[in-house]
């Protein structure tokens, strides 16, 4: 690049584009390290709340803002300390950087909505690189649900329910490429929030999610999942949307022999869905669901404590309560319900265990702090 700068006939426009390509990721890393850190975002939310309270109490907010414009330090604003929360913590975060998922609401309206959902200090940050238009880069959006107490899995559930209400399209068809791309982008949010909910329910533990090879099963062959994509799907309250039906349709006759054991785990979700639909028949339910087509391993450092062969997370739209229906699939002999119940009891995890068939059983676990 230095040689190009020194050339007399250097194309400055091309040189500018090359510099932009180099500087853009560096700038993003700097912002992430300084301003997008968790503690920095909490501080920004706290200060914004104090500013809001000061303006709300003042009879002449316009003059107060004018007076603030000449100040250089935060201390010079003389903000009240009483609105500073005793224990501010991030319950969960939504991180979006995509051209295909966006909100029609302003950051102020989004924060107001999340405040009504029970978050004391909601925060919406948008980041746009200085050369984003030249590089056709999407804006980065960070949405935090911050509480003024120790967060709980229910707080994460409220954030999940709001995310699905705000961004999801439940009438999407399995061959709708744009909607599948949108769902793949949203899946990153769901993975992050589900992990957060499990970690709040069992402090000190972590959750590992390993996607199943859906493309190898003949699902979405033109849109093969990449990385973690294809393991969590948002569903309508009674699991009747088109994509859910497409995922659980029985394809046993077309599955290669070397994949039949893996595919049998997916059929466990089919049986669990049928059971839940019978249970919910005739009921008016205010809930959203996440279909998890992946293995979930609850871990203590590097040690696996228990593994679920997929499952369904049910989120209450009102209170955010998350009920996890985790599956056990037995390939050989043995009772799957007995095996699952024994492992849960050994870990001291309270759960209701039910046998679905000779091969499948599930554990119903309500995520609590």
283-293 pLDDT per residue, tens: 888 999 999 99
For residue 224, the model assigns a pLDDT of: 47
Output phi, psi for 116, to 5 deg: -70, -25
Q: Are residues 20 and 138 in the same domain?
A: yes
Q: Are residues 102 and 52 in the same domain?
A: yes
Is residue 239 over pLDDT 90?
Answer: yes
For residue 213, the model assigns a pLDDT of: 87
Q: Are residues 268 and 369 in the same domain?
A: yes
Residue where a domain stops, chosen among 115, 150, 185:
150
For residue 8, the model assigns a pLDDT of: 46
176-234 confidence digits (pLDDT tens): 888 888 898 899 999 999 999 999 999 999 999 999 988 888 887 655 445 446 789 99
Q: Are residues 31 and 158 in the same domain?
A: no
Secondary structure class of 143 (helix, strand, coil): strand
Q: What is the mean pLDDT of residues 151-158?
A: 97
Q: Are residues 227 and 329 in the same domain?
A: yes
Residue where a domain stops, chosen among 150, 166, 182:
150
Question: Which tokens belong to 265?
Answer: 């785990």
**DSSP structure class, residue 202:** S
For residue 208, the model assigns a pLDDT of: 95
Going by pLDDT thresholds of 50, 70 and 90, the confidence category of residue 328 is very high
Question: SS3 breakdown of the chain: % helix, strand, coil, rounded to 5?
Answer: 45, 20, 35
Exposure string for 33-70, b = 16+ CB within 10 A, e = fewer: eeebeeeebbebbbeebbbeebeeeeeeeeeeeeeeee
Q: Are residues 136 and 200 in the same domain?
A: no
- CB distance 44 to 125 below 8 Å: yes
Alpha-helical segments (H) within the chain: 2-6, 12-34, 38-57, 61-68, 107-116, 132-135, 153-167, 177-201, 242-248, 260-280, 336-347
Residue where a domain stops, chosen among 133, 150, 167:
150
Judged on CB neighbours under 10 Å (0-12, 13-18, 19+), 334 is exposed
Q: Are residues 212 and 355 in the same domain?
A: yes
Q: Are residues 84 and 158 in the same domain?
A: no
Region at 149 (left for phi over 0; alpha for psi -120 to 50; beta for the rest): beta
Domain assignment of residue 234, given as a range: 152-369
Task: Tell me the helices (H) and strands (E) count for the chain, helix number first.
Answer: 11, 10
Output phi, psi for 180, to 5 deg: -65, -35
For residue 228, the model assigns a pLDDT of: 46
1-50 confidence digits (pLDDT tens): 555 545 545 555 665 666 666 666 777 777 777 778 888 898 888 888 88
Partnered with residue 252 across adjacent β-strands are: none
For residue 82, the model assigns a pLDDT of: 55
Q: Model's pTM, two decimal places? A: 0.87
Q: Are residues 234 and 303 in the same domain?
A: yes
Q: What integer best gives the mean pLDDT of the chain? A: 86
For residue 103, the model assigns a pLDDT of: 82
Question: Which tokens belong to 23?
Answer: 């500087």
Q: Are residues 182 and 310 in the same domain?
A: yes
Greater model confidence, 188 or 135:
188
230 to each of 161, 181, 182, 316, 331, how far by Cα in Å?
Answer: 20, 10, 12, 23, 23
Distance between CA atoms of residues 144 and 89, nearest Å: 10
Q: Are residues 209 and 141 in the same domain?
A: no
Question: Which tokens belong to 185?
Answer: 């982008």
52-102 confidence digits (pLDDT tens): 888 888 889 888 889 888 888 878 887 765 555 567 899 999 999 888 888
For residue 133, the model assigns a pLDDT of: 67
For residue 272, the model assigns a pLDDT of: 97
Q: What is the mean pLDDT of residues 301-328?
A: 95
Is residue 109 over pLDDT 90?
Answer: yes
Distance between CA atoms of residues 299 and 190, nearest Å: 19
- CB distance 263 to 253 below 8 Å: no
The sign of the CA dihedral 303, 205, 362, 252 is negative
206 to each of 101, 124, 201, 202, 209, how far by Cα in Å?
Answer: 28, 27, 10, 8, 10
Q: Are residues 310 and 214 in the same domain?
A: yes
Number of domains in the chain: 2
The residue behind tokens 């319950």 is 91
């Amino acid at each position: 690049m230095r040689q190009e700068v020194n050339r007399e006939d250097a194309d400055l426009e091309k040189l500018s584009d090359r510099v932009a390509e180099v500087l853009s990721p560096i700038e993003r890393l700097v912002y992430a390290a300084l301003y997008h850190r968790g503690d920095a975002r909490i501080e920004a939310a706290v200060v914004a709340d104090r500013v809001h309270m000061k303006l709300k109490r003042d009879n002449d907010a316009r003059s107060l803002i004018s007076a603030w414009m000449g100040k250089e330090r935060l201390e010079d604003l003389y903000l009240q300390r009483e609105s500073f929360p005793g224990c501010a913590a991030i319950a969960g975060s939504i991180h979006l950087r995509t051209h295909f998922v966006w909100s029609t609401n302003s950051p102020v309206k989004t924060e107001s909505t999340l405040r009504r959902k029970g978050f004391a200090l909601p925060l919406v940050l948008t980041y746009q690189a200085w050369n984003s238009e030249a590089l056709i880069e999407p804006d980065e959006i960070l949405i935090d649900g911050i509480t003024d107490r120790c967060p709980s899995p229910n707080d994460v559930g409220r954030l999940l329910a709001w995310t699905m209400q705000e961004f999801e399209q439940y009438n999407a068809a399995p061959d709708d490429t744009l909607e599948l791309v949108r769902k793949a982008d949203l899946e990153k949010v769901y993975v992050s929030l589900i992990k957060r909910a499990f970690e709040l329910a069992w402090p000190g533990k972590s959750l590992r999610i390993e996607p199943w090879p859906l493309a190898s099963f003949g699902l979405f062959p033109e849109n093969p999942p990449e990385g973690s994509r294809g393991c969590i799907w948002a569903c309508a309250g009674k699991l009747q949307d088109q994509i859910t039906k497409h995922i659980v349709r029985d394809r046993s006759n077309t599955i290669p022999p070397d994949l039949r054991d893996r595919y049998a785990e997916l059929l466990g979700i089919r049986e669990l869905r049928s059971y839940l639909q019978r249970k919910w028949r005739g009921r008016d339910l205010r809930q959203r669901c996440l279909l998890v087509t992946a293995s979930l391993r609850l871990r203590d450092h590097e040690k696996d404590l228990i593994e679920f062969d997929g499952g369904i997370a049910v989120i209450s739209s009102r209170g955010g309560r998350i009920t996890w229906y985790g599956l056990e699939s037995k390939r050989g002999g043995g009772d799957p319900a007995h095996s699952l119940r024994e492992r849960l009891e050994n870990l001291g995890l309270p759960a209701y265990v039910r046998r679905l068939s000779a091969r499948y059983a599930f554990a119903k676990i309500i995520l609590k702090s």
